[in-house]
A and B are shown apart, each in its own frame.
Chain A
Amino acid sequence: MTVSKGIKEKISALSDGELSEFETRRVLNEIEDNAELREYWNDLQISKRVLHKDNLLFEEIDISTRISNELGKKAKIVTSERSWWVNQKNYIGMALASCLVVFFFNFQYTNNNNSFTDLASKRISEAIASPEAIEVLNNSVSGINAELQNIQNGPQGILRANYLMPSSGKSFKVSLSPIETPMALSSSRASRISYIKTEKGIFVISVSGDITAEKKSKILQNANFFSNKVK
């Protein structure tokens, strides 16, 4: 749907509180019928925040649909999939994740080890290639009815396995990181994190997501238990 500059100009004025009551109502009607205009409002807010050097943390998260669903307003709000800003981030993330997943399943190591990320990714791959680590990861979710959805990579070689619990629809992730990474070392607090020790080295394991604290504990306990068992 093509959007006229006139309506965008009005949304720009709305963001400055410069529209009359009548114009505001008309603009809200337009936004309601056109997801692109809603995105324009969102992008306008981001531009303003960039202009004012505001903190851009959590910019990629959009909970507006969840809120409207909870309030039973879904039918009244037209939403597109995501704004261009978020799409850019997701596209890059997906490309990186796809790259690593192929890398993971083929166990092929890149020859270009110049960057730290490459080195970290290699260490992760070595961990995954280690039968002990695979056993620990598999067993960490034992006793929990969870299905592996996909595997993604984070910055500096962090690997995340995303799980879904079919019974409740809730999701969680189990993350793995080499202890050698500077970030892991800088935040390592021995009494506060769990480790997997394999022949390839020591790896940090973490769990987070939309599951109960008890289940998170169980996953970490499983990981610790099986890690000790396979030594």
Chain B
Amino acid sequence: MERKENNKEVDLSLVRRAKKGDYRAFDLLVLKYQSRVISTAFKYVKEKQLAEDIAQEAFIKSYKSINSFREESSFYTWIYRITVNTAKNYLVSRKRKGETSMTDLSEDDSVYFDKVDMDSPQEILNANQLRDLIHDTLSSLGEETRTALSLREFDGLSYEKIAEIVDCPVGTVRSRIFRGREVLEQSIKKHMRNNQVYKNNEIS
């Protein structure tokens, strides 16, 4: 719960900057949430390309009306609602147009192909391997680094609270969390490189 609240505050600080006309802050929100927004749209329209278009429209709507966002909910909840409404409106307009059943057939079919792309055994295997890797990497971190990162990521504690718990300056907590993330990122990159070599060998 605390993690969610903390995440909400992170987003709101970017939203407030966006409200002041700082598009760079909004761009970071797009990068953070685009895949989840596309995923939400996909549940309604069942076609990858359309889901991308609807996600794009939802982000554009949200930026244009960012000043009407009253910050009572999280940014994600807000963009989620906009996405769902945009997707529903699209489906209603498509129904009004009375598109032929043949069209529906082709779109369902494309869903099947697009879904195959994303749920391929290789993708699933890769995701599972990555998760195992994360577990191993976390275990390999020094105790101080692992504690700081875990308290932040899994318990959602602020740097200040972590500093109180582990009895060190806030700046040290920030550095430890960063160092832990660096190690994690390197592990992930190494994993991906190895995966690439394996793939290339498989091809040749």
Contacts and interface: CB of A to CB of B under 8 A. Distances in A.
Interface residues of B, number: 79
Interface residues of A, number: 80
A12 B181 contact: yes
Contacts of A96: 199, 203
Interface in A1-56: 5, 8-9, 12-18, 24-25, 28, 31-32, 38, 41-45, 47-48, 50-56
Given A17-B10, A71-B23, A99-B203, A194 B174 contact: no
Contacts of A148: none
B106 A12 contact: no
A76 B63 CA distance: 15
A70 interface: yes
B10 A16 contact: yes
Contacts of B118: 57-58
Nearest to A68: B27
Interface residues of A, dominant DSSP: helix
Contacts, number: 213
13 contacts: A13-B159, A18-B174, A24-B13, A31-B28, A47-B181, A63-B34, A70-B56, A73-B23, A154-B116, A155-B116, A217-B103, A217-B106, A220-B105
Interface of A: 5, 8-9, 12-18, 24-25, 28, 31-32, 38, 41-45, 47-48, 50-59, 61-64, 66-68, 70-71, 73, 76-77, 84-85, 88, 91-92, 95-96, 99, 154-156, 158, 160, 175, 177, 183, 187, 189, 191-194, 204, 206-210, 213-214, 216-217, 219-221
